[in-house]
Amino acid sequence: MKGVGKTLIQSCVTTGVLILDQNLVLIDVNEPYLTMTGGSKDELLGASIENIDAFLATKIEASNDNPTCGHFHAIIKHKRGKQLPVEVSFFSQYLAGKKQTLLFVKAVNYENITQYNQSIIEQIFDQTYEAIIVTDSQGCIQTVNKSFSDITGFTQAEVTGKTPAVLSSGKQDKEFYQRFWKALIKKGCWQGEIWNKRKNGQIYPQWSNISSIKDRTGEISNYICQFSDITNRKKSEEELHFHAYHDVLTSLPNRHLLFEKLEYLTETHKESPTCFCVFFCDLDRFKFINDSLGHEAGDELLKSVANRLGGKLRDSDIVARSGVDEFIIVIEGQKTIKNLDNICKQMLLFFEKPFKTKYGTFKITASIGVSQFPADSTDIKELVTFADVAMLKVKESGGNHYLFFDTKEKELIKRRLELDAEIYKAIEKEQFEVWYQPQINAKSHEVYGIECLIRWIHPEQGIIPLIYLFPLQRLMARLKSLAILF
């Protein structure tokens, strides 16, 4: 019975065909393969594939995962030394119960493959989103892609032969470039953010990846820089950062940024003594306007107040929104301390002129509490708390005025804070009791009513009437937590 291999060998195919027995010994070969190698049948028949071509043998023996077939590329040598790139396919067949391996060796035109690959590379080079610069070993630009021109505004003709310094914005100093070249020479690559300048003079941020290319001798032959314009990304990051540190409604600094700035001022004080004042400003009757006319009207009023405060104060002063209708102002300098009364009066005058909004014109006043650094405290949280306490006293007396924090109240505030903490613990431990007390008519001695009294059964101080500890307003806030007792 004639096998497929024998048929192919006797045919006019231009592909080289080899037939190996079960021991991978050559038992037949066709003329095209002999032409490729310059050998003869007498030399090759009876020889193992390993002796004929060690690389082919290795590839065939290595195909353990699928021993019946395979495919690979190789280089075969002609007797005269010429190398020929080939594509090799093989498969196994059984003839009369004996295994045979058939090899098909086809010459490959690498020039066509190279041209095709070059075309693909050129398309990738020109159509990639990232800009690409290729320079020689001295940093002179040899070529750029389309995205480079789109981002920078420069054409290839305008930059060829020049260095990438044509894009320099001047924002990076000499030390930056020294570190840059040191890393590029040591590691062969560098990546990071660089601010460059477009042809129209606009400065923009770019994220760059730069690599050095070495030739066969190990010497640097080229540098390749890939970069992308990250302007939009930077804007998004800046917006996120802004919203993290600023009030959404008024764009003023929020409490987080306020405390960072206060922290900076206190740190500066350690090196160079300084002083500043914290003004806690609360709008009078704002809740009435907000509840009566709606939140939209209230928001517009708050924005008007913020704009006026920001416009009246110095650039070095800090104006922050700390609550719904609360603003904190920080003014630095020794003159501030000396002219504290005048400054407070000027702040109250800020509110003399009505605020015009699209929802109407509003006349509103403010209550201002003041604390001083370092006279009242060197702790920024205490300073804000002290200014708040002073402001609340102004509120209680009718508002539209200012008051300096009295340092004599420090211990009272400390004690109140301690009591606040103790009360919350007492609620959890159920240390409060409701006492019912009859109300008796002094003349008739008849009971005409009953009043409920809350008593704190303190483990150390005994029975404490809450009314003795807190003003009515502060007590009522805590009674909400105790409502479950009634």
pLDDT digits (tens, 9 = 90+) for 1-24: 455 566 666 666 788 999 999 889
What pLDDT does 149 receive? 94
Choosing from 338, 370, 405, the residue where a domain stops is 405
Domain final residue, candidates 85, 108, 131: 108
Q: What is the residue whose two structure tokens read 């990639």?
A: 128
pTM of the model: 0.52
Read off the pLDDT of residues 167-195 as tens digits, 9 standing for 90 and up.
Answer: 999 999 989 999 999 999 899 999 999 99
Instruction: Give the CATH number for residue 20.
Output: 3.30.450.20
Q: In this structure, is residue 241 part of a structural domain?
A: no
Q: Which residues pair with 281 in a beta bridge?
A: 327, 368
Cα separation, 219 vs 236, whole angstroms: 42
Q: Is 278 helix (H, G, I), strand (E, B) or coil?
A: strand
Cα–Cα dist 110/214, whole Å: 24
- Whichever domain contains 264, its CATH number is 3.30.70.270
DSSP state of 48: B
Give the CA count within 13 Å in the CB-facing half-sphere of 141: 21
Shared-domain flag, residues 396 and 436 = no
When pLDDT is cut at 50, 70 and 90, the band that residue 117 belongs to is: low
Residue 388 to residues 220, 392, 395, 398, Cα–Cα distance (Å): 67, 6, 10, 16
With the C-alpha atoms ordered 423, 426, 427, 433, is the resulting torsion angle positive or negative? negative
Among 234, 269, 303, the domain boundary falls at: 234
- Residue 435 confidence (pLDDT): 86
Residue type, 193: E
Q: Is residue 240 part of a domain?
A: no
Are both 14 and 62 inside the same structural domain? yes
Residue 57 lies inside a defined structural domain of this protein: yes
List of long-range contacts for 457-461, beta carbons under 8 Å, 24+ apart: 457/431, 457/432, 457/433, 458/426, 458/431, 459/431
As for how many domains the chain has, the answer is 4
pLDDT at 196 over 60: yes
For residue 60, pLDDT beyond 50: yes
The residue segments making up the domain with residue 30 are 4-108
- Read off the pLDDT of residues 384-433 as tens digits, 9 standing for 90 and up: 999 999 999 999 999 999 999 988 887 777 777 777 778 778 888 888 88
What mean pLDDT do residues 146-164 have?
94
Number of Cβ atoms within 10 Å of the Cβ of 115: 11
